[in-house]
Amino acid sequence: MPVYFSRIGMSDRINVDRENIWHPFTPLEGGDPPLLITSAKGIYLHTNDGRKIIDAVSSWWVNLHGHSNPTIAEAIAKQTSSLEHVIFAGFTHEPAIRLSEKLLAMLPSGFSKIFFSDNGSTAVEVGLKMAIQYWYNQGKDKRKIIALNGAYHGDTFGSMSIGERGLFTNPFFPYLFDVEFIDLPIQENEEQVLNQFKSILSSGNVGCFIFEPLIQAAAGMRMYSAALLDKLIQYAKENDVVCIADEVFTGFGRTGKTFASDYMENKPNIITLSKGITGGFLPLGVTSCDNKIVNAFKTQDFTKTFFHGHSYTANPISCAAANASMDLLTHPSCQRQIEKINERHEIFKNQIQGSNVIKDVRVLGTILAIEIASGETSYINDIRKSIYSFFMDQNILLRPLGNVIYVLPPYVINDDELDQIYAAINKFLARL
């Protein structure tokens, strides 16, 4: 049963929140107080004062099967009463073993190891460190890293270093390591980016190429073609460069296929995963790699061990949630839902395309992004505030990236609910 506080009680709780809690990506001064969520079910968030809000962004892109999904909840409950956690060095457990089997069966062929951590940033850190140590273990100096302009890979120092230098990273700039950045390859600059890439490769010492495959999410859902990325991976591999696909966002059906890497013929050596892996219930990160990487660590030389681990590595409860989430994901009804969301997005895109208040509208799998023609496209475009409050007034959570509105619903959303979101977007566009 949801707990309802009286109005007085509620402002009291929010005041305690204000006093005690530092929220992510949120200024400490100014702005509206947070909403108090007392429960969530399916695609809806329930507030203490009786509002029912559509979670059209899957709570920062983590939720796949709806909130409080009973199958995942049950798997978690069962796991908590048998094994809550155990050190993962020298010990193992059934939920992690089962999850490794499931993930390796889903990942592109050739992937052979699963390394657990606890969020997207750490999954990326692990991937980077594996790639760097891959060369170290062989005594080779291939220290250059290539990344894409506009990238976002997380908030730890390694992941910040390979990300866009700007608003999020400015205070830390002097502490970030050097990376060679290439532009996002789009149709207009294809030749130029390919040449830039080749020229960096031929300058020597390149050890690693890391990218968000097909879509840069935090940069404003910027999409690019699989064919181009395929070429970049091919060139990188021809030059013996370790390729890392950061699928923290794109994994588990978001782009229409299980992994964005499934769109390419050339596969990365390392894939990083998190977000949707537990269906949005619990934190878990995974870094998977192929035998090329593994072989550089298969040695009796203790000094070449991968010395990385977190206290909660492979937490059994998180693994149990992930096992349940993977079973739901691979079920034909979920796959059909993913296709349906894509079809509906495409239809809506065709309806609004050409509007003079839209700079661009794009769809990839279950992701719909609408770039509003209002000033420069940027995370700090001021229109974001009016977009957010307009949709919140309609009880729809759409948290735009500046002037880019995106819809990224849990897969359990139905036609009427999608219609409600599209109708609200039409209403918003009509006001511009």
Ligand X SMILES: Cc1ncc(COP(=O)(O)O)c(C=O)c1O
Q: How far is the CB of 123 from ligand X (least distance, A)?
A: 7
Residues that contact ligand X, how many (by CB under 6 A)? 14
Give the pairing of strands 396-397 and 404-407: unpaired
* Residue 371 binding ligand X, by CB under 6 A: no
**Cα-only R_g, the chain:** 22
Q: How far is the CB of 249 from ligand X (least distance, A)?
A: 4
User: Hey, CA dihedral for 162, 166, 170, 173, is it positive or negative?
Assistant: positive
| Residues from 176 through 215 that contact ligand X (CB under 6 A) | 212
For the chain, percent helix, then strand, then coil, each to nearest 5?
Answer: 40, 15, 40
User: Hey, CA dihedral for 291, 295, 297, 299, is it positive or negative?
Assistant: positive
Query: What are the strands, taking DSSP E only, across 212-357?
Result: 215-216, 222-223, 242-246, 270-273, 285-290
Residue 224 or 249 having the CB closest to ligand X = 249
Q: How far is the CB of 124 from ligand X (least distance, A)?
A: 5
Q: How far is the CB of 217 from ligand X (least distance, A)?
A: 4
- Rounded distance between C-alpha atoms, residue 342 and residue 188, angstroms: 26
Compute CA 140 distance to the chain's CA centroid, rounded to the nearest angstrom. Answer: 32
| Residues from 206 through 265 that contact ligand X (CB under 6 A) | 212, 217-218, 246, 248-249
Helix 415-431 × helix 383-393 angle, to 10°:
130
Determine the interface stretch with ligand X among 63-71, 90-98, 151-159, 309-317 (rule: CB under 6 A): 151-159
- Rounded distance between C-alpha atoms, residue 241 and residue 263, angstroms: 20
* Residue 152 binding ligand X, by CB under 6 A: yes
- Residue 110 to residues 114, 183, 232, 244, 336, Cα–Cα distance (Å): 12, 29, 19, 14, 27
Binding residue for ligand X (CB under 6 A) from 153, 231, 344, 345?
Answer: 153
Binding residue for ligand X (CB under 6 A) from 121, 269, 318, 403?
Answer: 121
Residue of this chain nearest to ligand X (CB atom): 120
Binding residue for ligand X (CB under 6 A) from 124, 131, 148, 226?
Answer: 124
Q: How far is the CB of 248 from ligand X (least distance, A)?
A: 4
* Residue 119 binding ligand X, by CB under 6 A: yes
* Residue 280 binding ligand X, by CB under 6 A: no
* Residue 274 binding ligand X, by CB under 6 A: yes
Residues that bind ligand X (CB under 6 A): 119-121, 124, 152-154, 212, 217-218, 246, 248-249, 274
